[in-house]
Amino acid sequence: MADFVLYEEEFKHLEEALRRLRQEANAKAVFLIDKNGQQIASAGEIEQFDVTSLASLTAGNVAATDGLAKLIGEREFSVLFHEGQQDHIHISIVAKRAILVVIFDDRSSLGLVRLRVKRASVDLEKIFDTMAQKSDRGAGPGGPASPFSEITDDDIDALFGE
């Protein structure tokens, strides 16, 4: 299976799109997560969250919900919403492979978040398209060399302190 490769340029574009979304939706924090549970980019008050745990649990949540959808004959449930007493989480699928998480409180509203997420999703999808094209090019000749093509057994052993 192809690896998921993220280059500096697209990373900046993703962060920019997330920052804009956070601002326009008046959200506390916004995260973009790979469906396998890896964090891709984020914006806002992220320091108050355990981002790694958040990414893995969100991916598990989405995977379980996907399973539920298939059980009842739906292709997917593209939006999940968890309502808390103060903070709420809006989760949606972007470009089929990523998960967009928006954490917000009563300074915003579900309606506003939904509206802004829809708009941001279009921008994010465009960036993912570029990433996919770049990744395809990278697989062929002339693409950027993988930093791992030249690792030695010694490098790997050193990692394990041997």
Identify which of residues 6 and 46 has a Cβ nearer to another protein in the complex: 6
Identify which of residues 59 and 113 has a Cβ nearer to another protein in the complex: 59
Specify the pairing of strand 98-104 against strand 88-94: antiparallel
Half-sphere exposure of 150 (CA within 13 A, CB side): 2
Identify which of residues 26 and 56 has a Cβ nearer to another protein in the complex: 56
Q: How far is the CB of 110 from another protein (least distance, A)?
A: 27
Identify which of residues 25 and 54 has a Cβ nearer to another protein in the complex: 54
Half-sphere exposure of 82 (CA within 13 A, CB side): 12
Q: How far is the CB of 155 from another protein (least distance, A)?
A: 5
The span from the CA of 12 to the CA of 100, in Å, is: 16
Identify which of residues 20 and 35 has a Cβ nearer to another protein in the complex: 35
Q: How far is the CB of 34 from another protein (least distance, A)?
A: 6
Q: How far is the CB of 105 from another protein (least distance, A)?
A: 23
Q: How far is the CB of 106 from another protein (least distance, A)?
A: 28
Which residues are at the interface with another protein (CB under 8 A)?
1-8, 11-12, 34-38, 40, 50, 52-53, 56-57, 60, 63-64, 66-67, 146-151, 155-156, 158-160
Beta carbons of 162 and 25 less than 8 angstroms apart = no
Beta carbons of 98 and 40 less than 8 angstroms apart = yes
Token pair 């959808």 is found at: 69
Instruction: Identify the CA nearest to 121 among candidates 38, 21, 6, 22.
Output: 21
Output DSSP code: residue 34. Answer: E
